[in-house]
Each structure stands twice: as C-alpha cells, then as structure tokens.
Amino acid sequence: MKTYINGIGCISTQKTFDTVFLEEAIHNNDENVLKIVSPAYKDFISPAASRRMAKGIKNGIVASAIAMKDAQIEKVDAIITGTGLGCIEDSEKFLKNILDNNEEFLTPTSFIQSTHNTVGAQIALLQQCKGYNFTYVNGAVSFESALLDAKMQIEEQEAQSVLVGGIDENGEYTTALFKLYGRIKQDNQQPYNLLESKTSGSVYGEGASFFVLENERKDNTYAEVLDIAIINTLEENEVESEITSFLKSNQLEISDIDALVLGFDGNIDFEIYYKNLAENAFAQTPVLYYKHLSGEYDTASAFALWMASKIIKTQEIPEIIKANSVEKPAYNTILLYNQLNGKNHSFTLISK
C-alpha cells in the first residue's frame, strides 16, 4: 500500500493558517526565541476548555483540525504524535508548585496535563477516536518516528487513515536553561542570520504540524511519502554516502531530487553536515532551509514536511526559504534531511 499526504495543518511561529503559502512569513533577525502566531482558538475549542489547556495542546488540536478539514474527513483510524519535550509549560508549573507549596496541597491538573501524550489523547477525545494512539518521544527524530509508524500502519493495512503530527512548546524556565547550556544563541548576538552564523547555539521556536495520511490518492492529495530513515550517529563525511544508498533503495539518484530541504539552525559547530551537502553533492539542486522561520525544536522537521508538501502541490518555492539560487522546472521529488548537534539524523523522501 502506498502512503499519501491528503491533508495538512500547521500552527507555527509564522502565519501558516488562513494563507496560501508563506506569503506573510517574516524573517526575524532580532529574536533568538520565536513565539507562536496564535490562531483564533475559540473557533476550534470552547473557551471553558481552552482556559485549562497549555498552548501545546491547543496548537495540536487546531493544527489537527485544520489537517482533517483539509483532507475532508471526519474520522481517522489512528492518531500518532511525536514530541521532544511534551507539555513542558505544565511540567514547569507543577514543579514550581511543589517548591512554592513545600510539597503540600498540590492540585493535580498541571501534573495530569504535563505528560507527553496529552496532545494525542485530547485529539482522540474530541474526535471520539478509539483506535491506535501512540506518542513518540525520541528527541530530534520524534516526528520521524511517528511518521514511520504511520507509514507502517498503512502498509500493513492496519489502518486506512492516520493522523500524524509533531508538537513542541516553549517553557520560560526550560528556555532559560537552554540558553545557559548553549543550545540557544546568547541574547546579544544579533543579527541572527542562520546561513551566515559564526556562533554556536540555535534560534529556538515552537509549533504543531499535523498530516492526514491515507492509503488512497485523491484530488486533494499533496504528495506520496516514499521513505523515511533514521540514523543515530553519522560522521560528517558519511552523510553523502548514506543519502546515496537511501536514494538507491528507492531507485533514485541525487540528480533525481528536485529540491533538498536542510535543517540549518545557525549552530556553527554542526552546520558542516549541511554545508558539505549543499556545496558538493547537491550543488546543482535547489537547496531550501526553514528554521529561520520556525525556529529549532525537536519536531521542527514536521514544519519542513508541511513546507515540502506545499511546494509539491503549488509547484512554487517562496524566496524566503531559498538557500541557493538554483531552480528546476518542476518540483516532483523532495528530500528532507535534519540532524541536531550531530546526532539523530533523519531522511524523509516525498514525491508528487
């Protein structure tokens, strides 16, 4: 069975809803932590319920609802989510309450909502979906793990339609720790231009991207998911041969790739993984990047898949995401490559 992307929904640090495709995107050079552009939550969630939900849950519910509407379906057979830090805001709240109240008289709400699988559970409750529901927490390949599972569910005919998504949110305290640890760029290093960065750390973000995968092609299909590969560790000089064999297993060569989406995040210590590919093997291929728009977070690659799906459907590449000036007459096969700090390498291949 083939796997098709039939619906997409994205809530991110750009206006990625109620627009055609990134025409309102802003390249922010001054912020090292990007904030979500909030949709009108009341259109999707009752205000009473919304008040008790962390933003990650709300963004997940809205993004999944947009994807379902886009796919023109009411029900799915399975819900699979990926998240790096889960509902980190509620985790922070609960830990703060423990300290503030000397471990006494604690309300359990924040604790209950702090688990990583809260988003998948809330979506299932709203849809009354009693099927397979799974959450992957695998660092920077959390979303790819979910996508791989969804593809296997469809291939094995366990499910005909799967809602798959990647969600992460920023927490104030966690963000401060990341700055301390050097995962986020320091506050006074503007402009934050990812392609010309000379500093370590990345520009951080948050978001929720959802996809409806189905086993049949429809008029509203975006792309076919051909293959996903996850590799824990690779040396800089091994990436190219790994990509070559990954493409070969799908009867493709580097010249067959119409666009390469790379996870440039401005971290000078690990940019070499991307630069090597862009300057050598894929020098004749349009190279795109996205973390200057979405920020870096564990499931940022879900934003990249949203972007690649849009490119295949619209056959257009917005200027704001181009990392080189190469163009192709048509964009039918797109390869996505991401890694975080030299680990958790992932390759995702989609085609028209």
- Identify whether residues 153 and 301 lie together within a single domain: no
Q: What is the enclosing helix (H) or strand (E) of 233?
A: strand 223-233
Residue 231's pLDDT is what? 96
Flag whether 32 is in a domain: yes
Residue 189's pLDDT is what? 85
How do beta strands 207-214 and 4-11 pair? Answer: antiparallel
Question: Is the pLDDT reported for residue 20 higher than 90?
Answer: no
- Identify whether residues 234 and 210 lie together within a single domain: no
- Identify whether residues 17 and 159 lie together within a single domain: yes
Please give the average per-residue pLDDT across 127-132, as a whole number.
Answer: 94
Number of H helices, E strands in the chain: 11, 10
Which residues lie closer than 8 Å to 345 by C-beta, 6 or more apart?
Answer: 230, 231, 232, 233, 234, 239, 242, 273, 337, 338, 339
Flag whether 220 is in a domain: no
Residue 252's domain comprises 226-351
Cα(206)–Cα(72) distance, rounded to whole angstroms?
Answer: 27
Residue 105's pLDDT is what? 84
Helix H, strand E, coil C: the string for 69-122 is HHHCCCCCCEEEEECCCCCHHHHHHHHHHHHHCCCCCCCCHHHHCCCCCHHHHH
Residue 300's pLDDT is what? 97
Question: Is the pLDDT reported for residue 184 higher than 90?
Answer: yes
Burial environment of residue 12 by CB neighbours within 10 A (0 to 12, 13 to 18, 19 or more) = buried
Which CATH number does the domain housing residue 196 bear? 3.40.47.10
- Encode 324-338: b = buried (16+ Cβ within 10 Å), e = exposed: beeeeeebbbbbbbb
Cα(134)–Cα(163) distance, rounded to whole angstroms?
Answer: 11
Please give the average per-residue pLDDT across 174-202, as a whole number.
Answer: 92
**pLDDT tens digits, one per residue of 89-114:** 999 999 999 999 998 888 888 888 88
**pLDDT tens digits, one per residue of 52-80:** 888 999 999 999 999 999 999 999 999 99
Flag whether 219 is in a domain: no
pTM of this prediction?
A: 0.96
Cα(188)–Cα(190) distance, rounded to whole angstroms?
Answer: 6
**Angle in degrees, CA 175, 13, 339, rounded to 5:** 65
pLDDT tier at 154, thresholds 50, 70, 90: very high
Query: How many angstroms separate the first and last alpha carbons of the chain?
Result: 16
pLDDT tier at 276, thresholds 50, 70, 90: very high
Flag whether 251 is in a domain: yes
**pLDDT tens digits, one per residue of 293-340:** 999 999 999 999 999 999 999 999 999 999 999 999 999 999 999 999
Residue 191's pLDDT is what? 87
Strand ranges across the sheet with 343-351: 132-136, 78-82, 161-168, 207-214, 4-11, 223-233, 343-351, 333-340, 259-262, 287-289
Cα distances from 160 to residues 2, 134, 352, in angstroms, run 10, 16, 20
Average per-residue pLDDT in the chain? 94
Flag whether 221 is in a domain: no
Query: Contact, 296 vs 12, CB < 8 A?
Result: no
Question: Is the pLDDT reported for residue 249 higher than 90?
Answer: yes
In total, how many domains does the chain have?
2
Please give the average per-residue pLDDT across 5-22, as a whole number.
Answer: 94
Flag whether 68 is in a domain: yes
pLDDT tier at 190, thresholds 50, 70, 90: confident
Which residues lie closer than 8 Å to 12 by C-beta, 6 or more apart?
Answer: 36, 37, 205, 206, 207, 208, 209, 293, 294, 303
Task: Look up residue 219 and give its two tokens.
Answer: 């008029």
Among 303, 328, 326, 324, smallest CA distance to 315 is for: 328
Please give the average per-residue pLDDT across 43-52, as a whole number.
Answer: 90
- Identify whether residues 161 and 118 lie together within a single domain: yes
- Identify whether residues 208 and 125 lie together within a single domain: yes
Domain termination residue (choose one: 168, 194, 214)? 214
Q: What are phi and psi of 215, to 5 degrees?
A: -90, 5
Question: Is the pLDDT reported for residue 227 higher than 90?
Answer: yes
**pLDDT tens digits, one per residue of 211-221:** 999 999 999 99
Task: Look up residue 124 and give its two tokens.
Answer: 């299932």
Among 258, 257, 255, 263, smallest CA distance to 316 is for: 258
Domain termination residue (choose one: 160, 190, 214)? 214
- Identify whether residues 185 and 241 lie together within a single domain: no
